[in-house]
Structures are given as C-alpha cells and as structure tokens.
Structure 1
Amino acid sequence: MRDRRHSLLNAAITATATAAAALTLVPTANAAPGGAAEAPESAPVASAHEAVPAPGGGEQIDVIRQGAPAWNAWRGRHPGVRPDLSGADLRDLDLVAVDLRGADLREAGLLSADLAGADLTGASLPDATLAGADLTHAVLTGADLRGARLTEAELSGARLAQADLAGADLTRAQAGSADLTGADLTGANLSGANLNRADLTGAELKGALLTDTDLNCRGHHVCEVP
C-alpha cells in the first residue's frame, strides 16, 4: 500500500512539472525580443473632457428651431463658437430671452419672431428681416443692423446703444423708451415710428426719414423734448 501511494505521488509531481514547463514554452502574443512578456495594449479611452466638434450652420439652425432653452443649452456646451445662422428662416419662432450674442444672422428671416429680452449684443444682422418681430427689452448693443427691415417691429425698452442702423427700415416701429445712444441711423427710414421717451444722445440721423415720427424723445436736436 505504501509503495502504491508513493508511486501515485511521484506521478502527480511529474505531471505538475510537465504542465509548468509547457506553460513557459508557450510564446505570448506581445513577447519582447528578449523573451519577457509585454503588457497587452489597452484600447484608447475617450476623455470625459475631450472636445466635441461643434455642429455646422445647418445643424445650428435645427437646434435653434427647437426654441430658446435648447439653443441656450447648446451655447453653454460650445462657448467658443460663433453661431452661424446667416440666411436662416426663423420666422414666427418663440425665442424669448435667447442668447444670440455675436451671432451671424446676415439676411436671416426673423419675421414676427418673439425675441423679447433676447441678447443680440454684437450680433451681425445686415439685411435681416425683423418686420413685426417682438424685441421688447432686447439687447442689441453694438449690433450691425445695416439695411435691416424692422417695419412695425416692437422695440420698446430695447437697448440699441452704438448699434449700426444705417439704411434700416424702421417704418412704424415702436421704439418707446429705447436706448439709441450713439446709434448710427444714417439714411434710416423712421416714418411713423414711435420714439417717445427714447434716448438719442449722440445718435447720427443724417438723411433719416422722420415723416410722422413721434419725436417726443430726448438727447438730440430733432427731439421735441430737449
């Protein structure tokens, strides 16, 4: 019995040694020239802070058509991107308090859009259509509105300081209490516009049409109120 146990133990030891030797002879997929195994390459992992490419102009238009909350969230994710909405058809959209600072809106169609309280500081809007748009208390400081169509637009309380409105059509626009200090209104059409209590200090009105305009404004020699 003892001899049988001894034989079984020797056989087990021999089998174990043989298996170990076999393992040492199996080459690894990433073996180095000297025989030492290299650690397997790990798959690249995307960083949580990796920049996501900003959508192009067409995609930006799709986002803004979802409304101000979706657009403002998009701007928060792309703070360094200047929005390109040039030529976009954005008529009748509800864009209350939308963030369009510095946006390119050349020749954009904003007919009857609700832009009350919107921030358009430094926006580019030459030849844009804003007829009938609601811009109550909107911020358009330094905006480029050359040749823009603002017929019957609501601009009450809007901030248009240093805005370029040369050649703009403001026929029957409601701009009561608007801030137009330093604005360029050269050649603008203000026929029938309401400028009641608007501040035109330092504004340029050379060649502007003022037929039937409510000039109960202040800060300019054309104003009926000094």
Structure 2
Amino acid sequence: MANKEHLAIFEKGIDYWNRWRRENPSIRPDLSEALINDFDFSGINFSQVDLSGAKLIDAVFNNTNFSQAYLSETNFSRSILMGANLSRTILNEAILNKSDFTGSNFQWAYMVRTRALDTNFSGANLTGVCIEDWHINSSTQLDGVICNYVYRRQKKRERYPSSGNFAPGEFAKLFQKSLETVDLIFRNGIDWDAFAYSFKKLEVENQGGQLDVQSIEKKGDGVLLVRVAVAPDADKAKIYNDFMQGYEFAAKTLEAQYQARLEDKDKVIVRQEAQINRLFDIVEQQGSVQKALAENPRKVSNTNIINSQLASGLVDAINVESQQIGGNIHNNNA
C-alpha cells in the first residue's frame, strides 16, 4: 500500500510534488497500489518511485521521468508516455496494453513477463532491455525501434545477438516474426506426463488454435525452452498462463501419486525382507537337522518326517515370496 504521507503530497499537484522531490532527494516515495488515472501528469518526476501494483490507466505521462522506478505489476493500460524516461525501471509483469511509448527510453529496463499487446514502441530505445517471457502481438508497433541488443534472461544472461549489435530494423523484423510462437521455460526439468496433460487440455480449450511444439532447446543450468507455434492472432499471454496453470496442477497431482507409489513400494520391500529372513531361518533349521543326523544318527527319530516338514515349509515360503515379487518359482519334484 502507498505511504499515506507520500500519497497526500502527490495529490497536491505536479508542481508541489516535483518541488518536494527536489527538496528531499534522498527519499524514495512509495505510491504502490495507488490509483492514478484519467489525468495529464506530463513532466512529473517519478524517478525511483515505487509504483508496484499501481493503476496508471488512461493517463498521460509525456516526457515523464520514470528512471529506476519500481513498476512491477503496474497497469499502464491505454496510457500515453511519449518521450518518457523509463531507463533501468523494473517493469516485471506490468501491463502496457494499448499504451503509447513513442520515443520513450527503456534502456536496461526489466520487462519480464510484461504484457505489451497493441502497444506502440515506435522510435523507443530498447537497448539492453531484459525481455524474458514478454508478450506482444501483431498490433504491437516496433517501427523505428532503437535497439543494439537485448537479454532473454534476467541478470544480463542470454544476450541477443550473442556478439555485436542488431542492424537497423533487425530487432523489429526478428521479434515480429516471433509473434507466432509462445516460449515455455522450465528451470527444473520437465515432467513430460504433466506437459502432455496440459498441452492436450490447451488443445481442447483452443479448438482450431493451431498449437504445435516447434522446438525444444537446452539453455544451460538445467533450463529447457519449449517453443510452441500458435495462430498469428492467438492471445499468447492467455495461452502461456493457461498452459502453466495446467502444468503445475498436473505436476502436483502426479507428485502425490509418485509419493504414494513409493510408500507402497517401501511396504512391499519390508514384506519381502521378512519373507527372505524366514527362508534363511528354514534353511538354518534344515542345516541343523542334517548336522544332528550326521553326528548322532541313532538319537534323532522320525528323520524323514522332520525333513519333509522343513522342505514343505521352504517350498511354501518360496511360493509366497514368488507371488509377492511377481516371480514364477515352482517345485519341480511335486
């Protein structure tokens, strides 16, 4: 929640806010989850402001300074931010749909799982931006984007291109082409049973959606990327979210089943160990009788009866054991 004092200062107007910011440069204002909409805030100083979870809808922020602001899960839908400075901002899971960022500066910003459907980035500077799992569509405008390179993963990993810079216009061309795929990233391997369940569920829910696994790539550190081809007009963000929800549900369910099987297996092993110990006891008894016979043949009576009982017990134990283990052991002398 927003700091009440900071919110009260903000509500006094742009000039008052900007003057307070100049007089208190060490304070990092907290306007998280604030509702800031339907007004022209052009020129306001939002640098280093915590606007996480805030709703900045249908507002104008032309030439506004957002540098190093925290904008995770911020909703900018239908807002205008032409010429805004968003360098080094944290825009993770932010909603930029139908917003106008013409000529804005996003250098080295984090745009992880950011939605930018029908968004205008014309002439914006996207050099050094982390675009892991970002979502754009065919109406996202990338004309004239200035971009030397981007990162596919956080902490400046997976630089693209790996060396050198994009040629002019190359970034827009490459990423407009990638609009027909959804990238599914798995960091701890893939449970293929859960994957199959979720993918089939997605196909059923998106009949005629042209879903197809295009490629599977190893990215190092145990990370796997599955690229799924989708229809050009598909809602990639919805497909991604629906798949991951189905996958996580299936993975948890299967994990419970695996655990139950392991517990059953442990019980079987305990029973098997008991039967094996019983076999050893019978063999030892038989050995003791045979030894007694060898040492004192006249003192042991009913020898045939004793040996017959021991042999019968041994066969019964083996038959029980074979049934539990699934073997096929028979008494050929029967």
Sequence identity (%): 22
TM-score (norm 1): 0.66
Counterpart contact for 2:145–2:172, Cα < 8 Å: no
Q: Distance in 2 between matches of 1:108 and 1:120?
A: 14
- Which residue does 1:97 correspond to in 2? 43
Counterpart contact for 2:92–2:112, Cα < 8 Å: yes
Q: Distance in 2 between matches of 1:100 and 1:161?
A: 16
Counterpart contact for 2:100–2:119, Cα < 8 Å: yes
Q: Distance in 1 between matches of 2:151 and 2:100?
A: 21
- Which residue does 1:199 correspond to in 2? 146
- Which residue does 2:294 correspond to in 1? none
46, 68, 73: which is aligned to 2:14?
Answer: 68
Q: Deviations over 1:170-215 (max 9, x none)?
A: 0000110000001011111111200000023211358xxxxxxxxx
**Paired residues, number:** 160
Larger mean Cα displacement after TM superposition, 145-154 or 60-69 = 60-69
- Which residue does 1:217 correspond to in 2? 169
- Which residue does 2:28 correspond to in 1? 82
The answer to which structure has the higher strand fraction is 2
- Which residue does 2:102 correspond to in 1? 156
Higher relative contact order (CA 8 A, sep 6+): 1
Counterpart contact for 1:201–1:218, Cα < 8 Å: no
- Which residue does 1:32 correspond to in 2? none
Q: Distance in 1 between matches of 2:171 and 2:114?
A: 21
1:142 aligns with 2:88: yes
Counterpart contact for 2:61–2:80, Cα < 8 Å: yes
1:183 aligns with 2:129: yes
Unaligned runs of 5+ in 1: 1-55, 207-215
Counterpart contact for 2:103–2:125, Cα < 8 Å: yes
Q: What amino acid is aligned across from residue 114 of structure 2 in structure 1? A: A
3-state SS of the aligned residue for 1:204? strand
Counterpart contact for 2:142–2:172, Cα < 8 Å: no
RMSD: 2.0
Counterpart contact for 1:67–1:93, Cα < 8 Å: no
1:106 aligns with 2:52: yes
Q: Distance in 2 between matches of 1:92 and 1:160?
A: 23
3-state SS of the aligned residue for 1:76? helix
Q: Distance in 1 between matches of 2:114 and 2:169?
A: 19
